[in-house]
Amino acid sequence: MPSRLSSKRFLITPTLCATFVLASCGGGGGTTTSPPPPPTGDTTAPTVTFSTNTLTVQSGGTSAITLTATDNIAVTSGPTVTCTNGGSFANNTFTGPSVTVDTTSVCTATASDAAGNTGSSTLTVTVPSWTSAQFENEGLFKNKCDIIRTGTNPATGNPYADTQATLQHELQWLRSWSDNTYLWYNEIEDKNPNTFTDKLVYFKQLKTTATTSSGTDKDQFHFSMTTEEYQERVSSGSSAGYGIRWAFIQSSPPRDIRIAYTEANAPATTAPANLARGAVILEVDGVDAINGGTQANVDVLNGALFPSAENEQHTFKVRDLDGTERTFSMTSATVTSNPVNTSKTITVGTDKIGYVLFNTFGTRSAEEQLVDAFATLATQNITELVLDLRYNGGGFLDISSELAYMIAGAAPTTGKKYDDVIFNDKHTVTNPVTGRALAATPFHSTTQGFTLVSGQALPALNLSKVYVLSTSRTCSASEALINGLRGVNVEVVLIGSTTCGKPYGFYTTDNCGETYFSIQFRGENEKGFGDYADGFVPVTTAPSNQAEVAGCLIEDDYTALLGDQSEKMFAAALNHISTGNCPTAVTPQEVREDKFFRDPAAALMQTPRLKRLQMLEQSNILTAPEALVQKD
């Protein structure tokens, strides 16, 4: 039910001549004088007039309306507006109350003169709780919160903009914001927000339900997380854990859980764990990690594999690559991931080959680590580059552009589009987030200010070809790299399996302590191609369409360390460099991401928190220009 206000008063200011047409007002002078005393026998009341006597306003919305008060002598008090069921009037604008059922609010404006005569006028306002396909400007509801934050936003250094309001204000903001900026806004079913009591449940359904030609969800990347958690992850790359990237070859019984890679100086790589890529998880806290099929088993496994805080101790039984089985305890800690996990140069025959294992574009430190790695590679005069993006789910598009330039150099990229950002058909001229004229993301030849001072020249390898190692975890900004380079005729040889298929992205948007990720744009390269919603596919024959990329289909089999020349995907790239040929094609073991999230019963990683973390890793994020200069 709406809030019922028996008598709420709104004093219209400023007084006298400032806003309202008052017939008794004189001109000129600039000197404030008291109104003349009333003549004896003055019985004429002020005339109070609304420009209309009936009005319809959306819940929490606004409408322009004029209120005037005149008197034969002078108006000395008012006009004052009182509404029976909420709403406010100021500066010739009526703001409707936030309601959950259809509401009528009768507003009475009164004004008095010096003789005590009082005049009035009545405005009847109809406030429907929700009207399908009618949307107010999102700015009316922005930062109006059911629960407000106080203090200073650590990301900006400014006070939080939250103001006290209601849940309905937050839902109306989500509704209007989605209608304005969501790429497929006309495919959202407009449901009455007043039937929802949870903003996250409401947001979850503000997306298309369409599917791609392969039958997968068109939008697999719609999620939110608390702003506090998002800012911590992006600014530092830190989170509670062990420093392990898990590989779920099979996430439901009989499970196959292995270690994909580890971080240095983390619980996983120090005694007693001393874990390495390829180890198989057999038991966790006494639960059979392979066959445990009850919900209680799943809860134990999820809780131990993905601790939510520091100092959680869990017991693991594993089988190492050499076949040794052992049991030990690990305690979670805050672990900072290194985006550039490995960077080195090897010589094979006459070829000097650079290898870079790069795991995320999604932390600001990725900019500095990439610049350091490529500056070193540039001094070593490499002739070939193997870029290992098999676990890189994406992140900041501007860092992706920087990397593309560092691979290709100035000759093919100067003046060319890296990623042409295309919004919905409401925004063909102006970026709806930044307010600036639409412009493609270029190949950045200088640093963009994530962790390095902006404007510094980037190192460049000036290569005409790059080998990219890929899996279904290669997503978003990583796919933009493949597409952007191909758009300027830099040859990409794809080794591994089909990428995840996300030619879309968003600006992360905070409101009332929740950061929302909603698809707002799609990207196209210099040649106008961006249709890879089912991923880039490595093929050994001539590509038949632009989503097919010449390369080799190779499994990620976890039998050797990443960067080891015997590891199958890296070995296939080295063989292709030397011979131009692929080994015998095999079927990749790792499942596609969309299937991962619809695994059968007793599958791991199905909780909302863990799904959010996975989707954050598969992101193509733009930042508003002012955000780029922030220092963390």
Whether pLDDT at 610 is above 60: no
The pLDDT of residue 617: 57
Residue 398 is inside which H or E element, if any? helix 397-408
**With contact defined as beta carbons under 8 Å apart, do 248 and 533 qualify?**
no
Reduce the DSSP state of residue 51 to 3 states and report it: coil
Are 471 and 359 within 8 A, CB to CB? no
pLDDT for 260 beyond 70: yes
Decide if pLDDT at 498 tops 90: yes
pLDDT value for 128:
79
Average pLDDT on 505-533 reads: 95
User: What average pLDDT does the segment 21-26 reach?
Assistant: 32
Give me the pLDDT at residue 2, please: 39
Q: What is the pTM of this model?
A: 0.76
Contact 430, 346 (CB under 8 A): no
* Cα–Cα distance measured from residue 441 to residue 398, given in angstroms and rounded to the nearest whole number: 8
What is the pLDDT, as a whole number, of residue 72? 93
pLDDT at 21 over 60: no
Any alpha helices (H) in 192-336, and if so which ranges? 199-204, 227-236, 295-305
Q: Please give the average per-residue pLDDT across 462-474, as a whole number.
A: 97
Higher pLDDT, residue 621 or 503: 503
Q: How many CB atoms lie within 10 A of CB 492?
A: 22
- CA–CA distance, 546 with 527 (Å, rounded to integer): 11
Which of 627, 600, 599, 625 is closest to 614 using CA atoms?
Answer: 599
**Which of the two residues, 95 and 424, has the higher pLDDT score?**
424
The pLDDT score that the predictor gives to residue 129 is 76
Confidence of residue 616 (pLDDT cuts 50, 70, 90): low
**For position 596, what pLDDT does the model report?**
34
Closest listed residue to residue 25, CA positions, set 73, 77, 90? 73
What percent of the chain clears pLDDT 70, i.e. is strictly above it?
A: 86
Q: With bands split at pLDDT 50, 70 and 90, how would you rate the model's confidence at 602?
A: low
Q: Which residue matches tokens 């089999």?
A: 557
pLDDT for position 36: 58
Residue 612 confidence class, pLDDT cut points 50, 70, 90: low
pLDDT tens string 150-194: 999 988 889 999 999 889 889 999 999 999 999 999 999 999 998
Band of pLDDT at residue 3, cut at 50, 70 and 90: very low
Give the mean model confidence (pLDDT) for residues 476-502: 97
232 pLDDT band, cuts 50/70/90, is confident
CA–CA separation, 157 vs 173, rounded Å?
Answer: 24
The half-sphere exposure of 519 on its side-chain side, counting CA atoms within 13 A, is: 24
- pLDDT band, very low/low/confident/very high, at 61 (cuts 50, 70, 90): confident
Q: Are 110 and 119 in contact (CB under 8 A)?
A: yes
pLDDT band at 40 (very low <50, low <70, confident <90, very high): low
Task: Give the closest residue to 513 by CA, choosing from 235, 223, 153.
Answer: 153
Tell me the per-residue pLDDT of 340-382, one tens digit each, with 9 for 90 and over: 999 999 999 999 999 999 999 988 999 999 999 999 999 999 9
* 578: enclosing H helix or E strand: helix 568-579
Cα 601 to Cα 597: distance, rounded to the nearest angstrom: 11
pLDDT score recorded for residue 369 = 98
Least confident of 23-27, 205-209, 254-258: 23-27
The answer, yes or no, to whether residue 604 has pLDDT greater than 80, is no
CA distances from 77 to 40, 65, 118, 357, 433 (A): 19, 20, 9, 74, 44
What would the pLDDT profile of 380-398 be if each residue is shown by its tens digit?
999 999 999 999 999 899 9
Q: Pick the closest to residue 59 from 173, 150, 205 (CA basis).
A: 173
| Spatial separation of the C-alpha atoms in residues 88 and 58, rounded to whole Å | 13
H or E element that contains 422: strand 417-422
447 has pLDDT over 50: yes
Q: Which domains does the chain have, with CATH numbers?
A: 8-127 (2.60.40.10), 239-335 (2.30.42.10), 340-422+443-505+524-628 (3.90.226.10)
The model's pLDDT over 92-131, given as tens digits with 9 standing for 90+, comes to: 889 888 876 778 999 999 999 999 999 999 999 988 778 8
pLDDT at res. 352: 98
Lowest mean pLDDT among 20-29, 362-371, 527-536, 621-630: 20-29
Digit-coded pLDDT (tens) for 575-595:
999 999 998 755 554 433 333
pLDDT for residue 625: 38
